[in-house]
Amino acid sequence: MGNSVPSSLTIGHQTIKIKGQIGDGGHGHVYRGEDDAGKDYALKVTWVPRDRNGAVANEEAAETASLEQTILKRICPHPNVIEVLDSGMLKEDNEIRYHILIEYCPRTVLGHLTEARKAPSNYLPERDIMLILRDTLSALQHLHAQTPPIAHRDLRVENLLVDVRGRVRLCNFGSCSLRHRSFAASRDIALAKEEIRRRTAPAYRAPEQVDLHLGHMVSERVDIWAVGVLLHKLAFGATPFEDSRGDVQNLAILGGFRVDRLPEAHPYSSGLCALLQLCMNPIPQARPSCAQLLRR
């Protein structure tokens, strides 16, 4: 199959007609499809090639696809996590196909933000921001309540969908981690640094991910930092540690966020601004939990 777009795929006992590609996620592609009754779905498919001996040719792609299915089976259903209708794996001679069939979400938070930035005020209303934040925190709280806690590690505006009921749904779980630890040995630091580089977005990385020599525990608290980055993106249209060229300033990340970095004139409350500083505290243990943020 490779990178060619199929006209249809058999998922379980039904055939899904592919209407077109609507996105990428990790090593997979996301398609919009419909069943014989005309109902819309989203279908995430990852094709992993196999060599002549049947061995997987891209271990990272296979690991990511398998991890996402495992995580979703543990955490679904939840009103703020994508609704999974079917998932599985099909082995063929020259490839392995991983698929996740999910409810089609007609809108995205990124699209909502883009439209708001075109308006005369150029700002997303605070009420909209807080509703997005509430649903996002609800999803993260569910992940963090697992044993052991699940760190999403890829929270960003692009991974927030909006379903037909207007609820925000978190997606893309292939970067999740259940391993929470600090690093001291040079080899461990090098391996962890490479994994962080491959599986996380630079603009959303927490200080303990940027500099593993700090000795902080790298845990689900990285998601709280990312909530702060997301909040800043929703409010001001950019992540907080980008320069004018869009390059991420790692030294600035290490210092944490202060409200005096904000523009002098903006329409947001002191409460929203305080959340930015709370979430983007450079000390992981000092960041609030999802439950604490939801109670504010």
Mean pLDDT, the chain, integer: 94
Looking at residue 3, what is its pLDDT? 54
- Report d(CA 177, CA 287) in Å as an integer: 19
Give domain limits for the chain: 8-103, 107-295
The single-letter code of the amino acid at 281 is: N
* Domains 8-103 and 107-295 agree in fold: no
**44 known ligand binder:** yes
CATH 3.40.50.720 fits 8-103, yes or no: no
Looking at residue 25, what is its pLDDT? 63
Per-residue model confidence as pLDDT tens digits over 136-184: 999 999 999 999 999 999 999 999 999 999 999 999 999 999 999 999 9
Looking at residue 127, what is its pLDDT? 97
Distances in whole angstroms, Cα of residue 198 to Cα of each of 194, 218, 232: 6, 16, 24
**CB hemisphere CA count around 178 (13 angstroms):** 10
Q: Which CATH number fits domain 107-295: 1.10.510.10, 2.40.270.10, 3.50.50.60, 3.30.420.40?
A: 1.10.510.10
Structure tokens given for 190: 């090098």
Per-residue model confidence as pLDDT tens digits over 83-96: 999 999 999 889 99
* Residue 90 zone, left/alpha/beta (φ > 0; ψ -120 to 50; rest): beta
Per-residue model confidence as pLDDT tens digits over 199-213: 999 999 999 999 999
